[in-house]
């Protein structure tokens, strides 16, 4: 029976399903995660996600159709950004549920992360106290545009591709703590491997900037921070 109540429920759940359909792609989830770090052009997103520009555009159109992203023209390029500041929290909650319910996901995380430089649990206040007292060197190994869009207070910008070239500038008497985009990002793990092979005491911070910001912890927006 097609009652008004039935039509209402079908209409509501049909709209909610638009979000589900837009997210039902590993590539679109990855693109949305990249946009949590900073706005980007189609070309930049395609490069970071290992996609052709045409494929990235197709995925972004699906996200745009679900009103999850919006666009802004900048000269010859179109820049994509998140359409709602609640999207990073939504993705974190989805990840938490997945990790709780899917043993396969936990197995993947254990395979890649366990024993590779995880830092012992430390509070935000304790980490920043150590940074201020120069007891640790905190490095952000994401691309420079992500650092400029927002980074953990006190962190130095040292993108992973440039890390080896700047090892001599890092103080050897301090532990080095590296972070990137969060739990599913491998750049900080790779940075820890490079640092440890060079003789540094190095650790990976599991939290990324979006996780940090979601907890109400301090982040900064600055052009650059030099090594000391």
Phi–psi pair at 206, nearest 5 degrees: -65, -35
> What is the Cα 48 distance to its own chain's centre?
12
Element (H, E) at 160: none
What's the CA gap between 87 and 69, in Å, rounded? 10
List the catalytic residue out of 180, 185, 188, 195. 180
Q: How many helices (H) and strands (E) would you count in the chain?
A: 10, 9
Concatenated DSSP letters of 23-62: H-SHHHHHHHHHHHH--EEHHHHHHHHT--HHHHHHHHHH
Under DSSP, the state recorded for 161 is G
> What contacts 74, CB < 8 A, 6 or more positions away?
41
Concatenated DSSP letters of 91-126: HHHHHHHHHHH-HHHHHHHHHHHTTSSBPPP--HHH
Confirm whether 180 is a catalytic residue: yes
What's the CA gap between 17 and 19, in Å, rounded? 5
What is the set of active-site residues? 180
């Amino acid at each position: 029976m097609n009652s008004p109540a039935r039509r209402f429920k079908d209409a509501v759940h049909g709209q909610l399903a638009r979000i589900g359909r837009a997210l039902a792609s590993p590539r679109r989830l990855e693109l949305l995660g990249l946009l949590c770090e900073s706005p980007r052009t189609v070309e930049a997103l395609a490069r970071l996600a290992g996609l052709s520009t045409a494929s990235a555009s197709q995925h972004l159109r699906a996200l745009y159709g679900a009103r999850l992203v919006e666009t802004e023209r900048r000269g010859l390029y179109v820049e994509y950004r998140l359409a709602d500041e609640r999207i990073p929290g939504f993705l974190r909650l989805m990840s938490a549920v997945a990790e709780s319910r899917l043993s396969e996901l936990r197995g993947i995380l254990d395979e890649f992360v366990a024993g590779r430089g995880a830092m012992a649990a430390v509070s935000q206040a304790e980490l920043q106290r150590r940074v201020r007292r120069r007891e640790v060197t905190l490095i952000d190994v994401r691309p420079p545009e992500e650092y400029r869009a927002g980074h953990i207070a006190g962190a130095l910008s040292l993108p992973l591709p440039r890390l080896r070239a700047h090892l001599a500038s890092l103080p050897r008497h301090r532990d080095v703590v590296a972070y990137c985009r969060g739990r599913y990002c491998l750049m900080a793990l790779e940075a820890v491997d490079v640092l440890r092979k060079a003789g540094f005491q190095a650790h990976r911070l599991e939290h990324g900037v979006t996780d940090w910001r979601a907890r109400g912890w301090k982040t900064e927006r600055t052009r650059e921070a030099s090594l000391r």
